[in-house]
């Protein structure tokens, strides 16, 4: 008896000590005023709160002691459901999952908060720890605004770049259309023969289809450069994008006596990426390379390969004027340009795009003449494309 009574009293004193320690911890938390703490009764009336909570909602301690503060009234209509859900959870299990909500401040404005709440024993009272999310929400909004601005800039620069390509495109589209007309005429001639040569006519007709498809593809490609929307990841064949860009830039480079060479790795795996954005990066680098050689002519070399660690790497190398002597590292800064008509946005946008794909973009001066820009993309898939060199 005695032994068990002693054991019980020992146990009690241990529990008591633990309780005291827990209380002290909570008291420290309440007094620290880093998080808002409140205790409400069964009716939702706030019967205790620390200064941090009162400051958050803009009420005074007098307002609290006069019994005026009730959390259901501090909760805007659209957050009532979330609060009630948490309350029901507490009644059922003693504790609610972390949840976000807003309180209405005394001045009518709102404060976004994160709440952790639990039952206080079985008194029907609830203790809630409240974290002010105003700063975090502002930062999120700012981040979103910056992202939007960057999207807008990317779109603008894309439109500008594509706009400059109008002339070369007209040329590119004219060529397959002229070929289609020629092949259609040939087809008619074979059919008008007596007797008609259907085999030859069929061949000419299928050549017409091919030409027209090529023209349509060119139009599609241009449209995809203009198209705006949320980034979309898909399996992209980098060699194909390089070839497309060469087609698009053929006329411009020709005008400046620039030869475009390629060294494309065979069987390059496809990569998960936003096609339009990768096109844009490549376009920026190639246009920059062409512009660096526009007074002298030269050679633009585009290569694709797999790096030793399995990433895909594209490099664009020119034999032009070379990187600016002073502050060569500034070229990736937004609005840095050495061109009278430059925007200074191309490389900064390109780097953002590449990095958002988990890759890197950098520049090096060539040993002889010109500059080389290289970027990597993470190869997240092993799907292989049968692309030829």
Q: Please state the closest distance from residue 249 (CB atom) to ligand ADP, in A.
A: 14
Q: Report the alpha-carbon distance of residue 370 to residue 361 in Å, rounded.
A: 17
**Minimal distance in Å, beta carbon 332 to ligand ADP?**
7
CA–CA distance, 273 with 264 (Å, rounded to integer): 19
CB atoms within 10 A of CB 142: 10
Interatomic CA distance for residues 261 and 302, integer angstroms: 6
CA 380 to CA 142: how far, in whole Å? 31
Place of tokens 């995809």: 224
Round to whole Å and give the CA distance between 362 and 372.
Answer: 8
Show contacts with ligand ADP in window 321-340 (CB under 6 A): 321-324, 331, 336-339
284 binds ligand ADP (CB under 6 A): yes
C-alpha 208/C-alpha 179 separation (Å) is 7
The region of 53-61, 100-108, 231-239, 281-289 touching ligand ADP under the rule CB under 6 A is 281-289
Q: Least distance to ligand ADP from the beta carbon of 149, Å?
A: 16
Site string for ligand ADP, 66-85 (x = CB under 6 A): --------------------
- Position of tokens 């194909």? 240
Using the contact rule CB under 6 A, the part of the chain among 22-30, 123-131, 194-202, 319-327 near ligand ADP is 319-327
User: Shortest approach of ligand ADP to residue 327 CB, angstroms?
Assistant: 10
Residue number of the CB closest to ligand ADP reads: 342
CA distance 356 to 225: 19
Under the binding rule (CB under 6 A), the answer on residue 289 touching ligand ADP is yes
Closest approach of Cβ 319 to ligand ADP, in Å? Answer: 10
If one asks whether residue 318 binds ligand ADP (CB under 6 A), the answer comes out as: yes
**Both structure tokens of 382:** 């092993």
280 binds ligand ADP (CB under 6 A): no
What one-character-per-residue DSSP string does 40-102 give? E-TTSBEEEE-HHHHHHHT--HHHHHTT--BHHHHS-HHHHHHHHHHHHHHHHHSB---EEEE
The residue (of 189 and 256) whose beta carbon lies closer to ligand ADP is 256
Measure the CA–CA gap between 123 and 128, rounded to whole angstroms.
Answer: 15
User: Is residue 288 a contact residue for ligand ADP (CB under 6 A)?
Assistant: yes
Which of the stretches 142-150, 258-266, 274-282, 318-326 binds ligand ADP when contact is defined by CB under 6 A? 318-326
In sequence order, what DSSP letters do the residues of 159-226 get, joined into one string? HHHHHHTHHHHHHHHHHHHHHHHHHHHHHHHHHHSSS--HHHHHHHHHHHHHHHHHHHHHHHHHHHHH
Shortest separation between residue 197's beta carbon and ligand ADP, angstroms: 53
User: Between residues 119 and 349, which has the closer beta carbon with respect to ligand ADP?
Assistant: 349
Q: Is 298 in the site for ligand ADP (CB under 6 A)?
A: no
How many residues sit in the footprint of ligand ADP (CB under 6 A)? 23
By beta-carbon proximity to ligand ADP, the closer residue of 212 and 246 is 246
Nearest to 277 by CA among 307, 233, 314: 233
Binding span for ligand ADP by CB under 6 A among 14-22, 260-268, 316-324, 377-385: 316-324
Nearer to ligand ADP, 157 or 387 (CB): 157
Site string for ligand ADP, 337-366 (x = CB under 6 A): xxx--xxxxxxx------------------
Binding to ligand ADP (CB under 6 A) within 13-32 occurs at none
Residue closer to ligand ADP, measured from CB, 45 or 161: 161
* 49 versus 347: smaller Cβ distance to ligand ADP: 347
With the C-alpha atoms ordered 107, 108, 111, 116, is the resulting torsion angle positive or negative?
A: positive
Q: Please say whether the beta carbons of 269 and 385 come within 8 A.
A: yes
Residues near ligand ADP, by CB under 6 A: 284, 288-289, 292, 318, 320-324, 331, 336-339, 342-348, 371
């Amino acid at each position: 008896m005695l032994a068990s009574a002693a054991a019980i009293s020992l146990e009690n004193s241990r529990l008591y000590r633990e309780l005291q320690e827990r209380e002290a911890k909570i008291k420290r938390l309440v007094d620290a005023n880093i998080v808002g703490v409140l205790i409400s009764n069964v009716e939702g009336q706030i019967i205790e709160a620390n200064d941090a909570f009162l400051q958050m909602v803009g009420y005074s301690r007098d307002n609290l002691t006069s019994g005026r503060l009730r959390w259901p009234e501090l909760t805007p209509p659209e957050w009532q459901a979330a609060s009630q859900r948490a309350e029901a959870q507490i009644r059922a299990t003693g504790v609610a999952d972390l949840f976000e909500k807003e309180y209405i401040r005394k001045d009518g404005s709102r404060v976004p908060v994160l709440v952790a709440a639990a039952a206080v024993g079985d008194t029907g009272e609830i203790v809630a720890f409240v974290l002010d999310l105003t700063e975090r929400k502002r930062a999120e909004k700012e981040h979103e605004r910056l992202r939007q601005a960057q999207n807008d800039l990317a779109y603008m620069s894309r439109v500008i770049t594509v706009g400059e390509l109008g002339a070369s495109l007209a040329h590119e589209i004219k060529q397959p259309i002229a070929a289609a007309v020629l092949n259609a005429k040939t087809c008619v001639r074979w059919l008008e023969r007596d007797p008609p040569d259907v085999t030859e006519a069929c061949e000419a007709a299928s050549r017409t289809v091919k030409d027209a498809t090529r023209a349509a593809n060119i139009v599609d490609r241009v449209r995809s450069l203009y198209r705006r929307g949320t980034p979309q990841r898909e399996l992209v064949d980098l060699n194909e994008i390089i070839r497309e860009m060469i087609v698009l830039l053929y006329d411009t480079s020709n005008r400046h006596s620039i030869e475009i060479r390629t060294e494309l790795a065979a069987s390059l795996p496809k990569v998960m990426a936003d096609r339009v954005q990768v096109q844009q990066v490549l376009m920026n680098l190639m246009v920059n390379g062409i512009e660096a050689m526009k007074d002298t002519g030269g050679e633009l070399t585009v290569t694709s390969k797999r790096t030793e660690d399995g990433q895909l790497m594209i490099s664009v190398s020119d034999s032009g004027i070379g990187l600016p002597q002073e502050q060569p590292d500034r070229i990736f800064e937004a609005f840095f340009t050495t061109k009278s008509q430059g925007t200074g946005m191309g490389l900064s946008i390109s780097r953002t795009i590449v990095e958002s794909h988990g890759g890197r973009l950098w520049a090096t001066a060539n040993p002889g003449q010109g500059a080389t820009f290289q970027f990597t993309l993470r190869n997240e898939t092993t799907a292989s494309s049968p692309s030829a060199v």
